[in-house]
Amino acid sequence: MQQKLPEVDAKITRELKQIVESKGWPTISLVGIDASNAAMLVLTHLPDLTWQLQLPQLQLLADSYKIDASSLALVLDKELVSEGKLQRYSSQFKSAHGSMAMYAVDDPNGLDVRRAKALLPPMQYYKEMMSQIYHLRITDDVVMAEAPSQK
């Protein structure tokens, strides 16, 4: 099954790109919240990070409540961490030595306010939820994301 993942990812990527090209981003009013969030989940896991960056209108859609802002927050954090930058919403963690540590975040003092605006739970609740889901202790450690190596 794992051997087919790249093939499945490529197919789903093509399909999402075709939808966006012909209809625009799948908003809640266009396809419903479940399908809109499914499109964001596909975007989150796309191997094509360049295409993710070409969708700046997503923030405008989230700000106008046309898509779920919490899904967008995950995509943004994933992209920032992949570039070795500080994340905004603290959705990304690193597993190490049997526990999980949060990747560093921009403006930690304003984190819960940003999370609330993005319809995400407070950080303490999120950490508890992550611990229950992954059966790992969530530490208060903060790790820095590493920029990709230039080859």
Instruction: Examine the pLDDT at 1 and tell me if it is beyond 60.
Output: no
Instruction: Examine the pLDDT at 54 and tell me if it is beyond 70.
Output: no
- Distance in angstroms (rounded) separating the CA atoms of residues 60 and 129: 29
Residue for token pair 């609740």: 125
Q: Is the dihedral of CA 144, 148, 150, 151 positive or negative?
A: positive
Tens-place pLDDT, residues 56-107: 688 889 989 999 999 889 888 988 898 899 999 999 999 888 899 999 999 9
**Residue 55's pLDDT band (cuts 50, 70, 90):** low
- Distance in angstroms (rounded) separating the CA atoms of residues 93 and 33: 26
- pLDDT at residue 2, as a whole number: 54
Q: Which helix (DSSP H) or strand (DSSP E) does residue 49 occupy?
A: helix 49-53
- 81: amino acid identity, one letter: V
pTM value? 0.76
Closest among 106, 98, 88, 105 to 138, alpha carbons compared: 98
- Give the mean pLDDT of the chain: 87
Residues 6+ apart with CB under 8 A from 141: 99, 101, 102
